[in-house]
Amino acid sequence: MVTGIVFSPLGLVLVFTAAITPQWREGQARLNMTGPGSLLRSSVKGQGLPDSLLLLRSDGLWETCLQVEHSELKQCWPAAGPYQRDSRVRLAQGLILTSLFLCGTGIVLACVGVRCWTDLPLRGVAATGGLLVVTAGLLSLTALGVYTHNLGILGMSSQGTKFPQLSLHPAGSLYFGWLGSCSQVLGGSALLLSFKRPKCPTCPSCPELPACPACQSFPEISNKPDMNVYEVSC
């Protein structure tokens, strides 16, 4: 139960971090500044501009950013256009949101079931929370798998166009998502294992009994006057 309580919130935080950051994929595109039709070159003549600029593009589930390399010029905007309308991106968005909701609900149930402030936990409630956390982890893994498998063509196949010299590759948010999803599956599985009640230790003198109802019932123990006798119940 302790393992589940630790790893489940950790997975929730990591998946949430991956969901809100715009680094699911990154790409670079070089913008030519020397052509005759370059508006930027013609408007600022004599300023010592380089022949080309390297643009860094990053896409997330809900946000896209564009930055000029080695400068503070960066612009982010909500994802729109063919990328936002891509069915695979929308599927990943829905799976991630459902995963976050199920994981949060599972953690609440697990906290109620573990009941650290009492001696006896509610094992069924804790295991139900673990089942929800495992389901959340599987949903987020599915979303990450779909996005990663189609990473290079998301938002581009429908229009048949690509950015010039743009090379796309996985970015940091994907790794946060993979790590968080695995933590959810691990934590939820640990909570599921807590559904089974541990066996009570048997009395050495009567191994056929599940537990000693009263230690004073065994003469080899009760004959010792200097030993305190306690009744143990599991």
**pLDDT reported for residue 32:** 64
Confidence of residue 37 (pLDDT cuts 50, 70, 90): very low
Instruction: Label the pairing between strands 74-78 and 167-170.
Output: unpaired
**pLDDT reported for residue 49:** 52
How would DSSP label each residue in 196-228? SPPPPPPPSS-TTSSS-S-GGGSHHHHT-TTS-
**Of 5-19, 81-95, 152-166, 177-191, which range is least confident?**
152-166
DSSP 188: H
State what percent of residues in the chain have pLDDT above 90.
29
Q: What is the phi-psi region of residue 77: left when phi exceeds 0, alpha when psi lies from -120 to 50, beta otherwise?
A: beta
Of 2-6, 14-18, 55-59, 192-196, which has the strongest mean pLDDT?
14-18
Domain boundaries, the chain: 2-193, 199-234
What is the pTM for the complete model shown?
0.71
Q: Which fold has domain 2-193?
A: Butyryl-CoA Dehydrogenase, subunit A; domain 3 (1.20.140)
* Residues 68 and 54: beta-carbon distance below 8 Å: yes
Mean pLDDT, the chain, rounded, equals 76
Which tens digits make up the pLDDT trace of 153-211?
877 754 444 445 567 788 888 999 999 999 999 999 999 887 766 655 555 555 555 54
